[in-house]
Structure 1
Amino acid sequence: MTAYSGNSLKSGLKILIKNNPYEVQYSEFIKPGKGQAFVRIKLKELLTNKILNKTFKATDTFYSTDVIEIESLYLYNTRYIWVFMNKKNFEHIHVLKKFLFGCEKWLTNLSICKITLWNNSPISVYTDNFINLKVKNTDVAIQGDTVNLSTKLVKLETGITVRVPLFIKKGDLIRIDTRIGKYVSRIIR
């Protein structure tokens, strides 16, 4: 394990704090006029996906953790266990639903995901920020009714319902921002 002092922490670094893995989101070194230097750190707890703000002494020591990310394909689920395949060695990875953190609503067969492993156990799954999904069903929009509504609801191939502009039809391919769950654009083929 590599050791880091508090003032050498950078964004993206994965460290251990009280035997739990964290990812440094942001760090700021502060040297006040009087007193000891300290570091303000914004951390993401990798086991729960919570964001924490902490303050440490600049001389505190942190150790790196053996967290790795692998690219994988979603295969199927059994309601409690979600099965992915490692793209490099074709091994199957079984992930409990609690480690999906809401990304399961965007998964279709063979969706590409990133799985975070800690001590060779999956602790989180992430999809891309923007994905393309097909419109399965759509509400009927009344022509010229743009005063009341300029959007309508559509059901996507994953079963999720989102608001889209009136010109979107059944069978269209649309881009979705998975971080906020909103329509971005129509994909023209």
Structure 2
Amino acid sequence: MTAYSGNSLKAGVKILLNNDPCEIQFSEFIKPGKGQAFVRIKLKQLLTGKLLNKTVKATDIFYSTNVIEINAVYLYTNQSVWVFMNQENFEHIHVSHKFLFSSEKWLTNLSKCRITLWNNSPIAVHIDNFVHLQVQETDIVVKGDTINSSTKLVTVETGAIVRVPLFIKKGDTIKIDTRNGKYISRVTS
């Protein structure tokens, strides 16, 4: 385990805080004119995804944690467990639903993602910010509907529902922002 002092915490460093793995998002060293130096940090709890703001002494000691990220491919779902394959050694990784953080609605067979492991147990699945999915079902647009709205709802191949412009039709492939579920553009091949 590597030890870090408060003033050596930088963005991207993964530490153990109250027995929870956390990743430093931002740190700012402050030396007031009077008094002891301190560090303002913003960190993300890796088990919950929650963001925290903390102020620590520059001399406080923090320890690194055994957190690694691996590249994986989504294979299938077995009841409440999602199964992924490590791309380096082809081992299967079983991930509980709570560690998907609502990204399951964007996963298709062989979707590439990154899995965060803490002590060799999965704690988070990260998918790309943008995915390309095919439209499976779409609302029928009736002449005159454009007066009230210029969008409609479609169901994509994963079952997720997305609001899109009226010109999108069944069979089209669309680009979606997975962070907020919004339509970005139509994908042409």
Q: 1:143 Cα shift? A: 4.1
Q: 1:147 Cα shift? A: 2.2
Query: Equivalent residue of 2:59, what SS?
Result: coil
Q: 1:46 Cα shift? A: 0.6
What's the TM-score, normalizing by structure 2?
A: 0.96
Counterpart of 2:186 in structure 1 is 186
Counterpart of 2:66 in structure 1 is 66
Q: 1:159-174 to 2 correspondence within 5 Å?
A: 159-174=159-174
Post-superposition, which runs of at least 4 consecutive aligned residues in structure 1 deviate over 2 A?
142-147
Q: Distance in 1 between matches of 2:174 and 2:111?
A: 15
Q: 1:22-171 to 2 correspondence within 5 Å?
A: 22-143=22-143, 145-171=145-171
Q: How many residue pairs get matched?
A: 189
Question: What do the CA deviations read for 1:72-94 (whole angstroms, capped 9, x no partner)?
Answer: 01111122111100011100001
> Unaligned regions of 5+ residues in structure 2, if any?
none
Specify the code of the residue in structure 2 equivalent to 1:70. I
> What's the RMSD between the two structures over aligned residues?
1.1
Q: Which sits farther off after the overlay, 80-89 or 27-36?
A: 27-36
Query: Equivalent residue of 1:146, what SS?
Result: helix
Q: Distance in 2 between matches of 1:17 and 1:157?
A: 40
Q: Distance in 2 between matches of 1:68 and 1:112?
A: 17
Q: 1:70 Cα shift? A: 0.4
Q: Distance in 1 between matches of 2:55 and 2:81?
A: 37
Q: 1:17 Cα shift? A: 1.1
Q: 1:184 Cα shift? A: 0.7
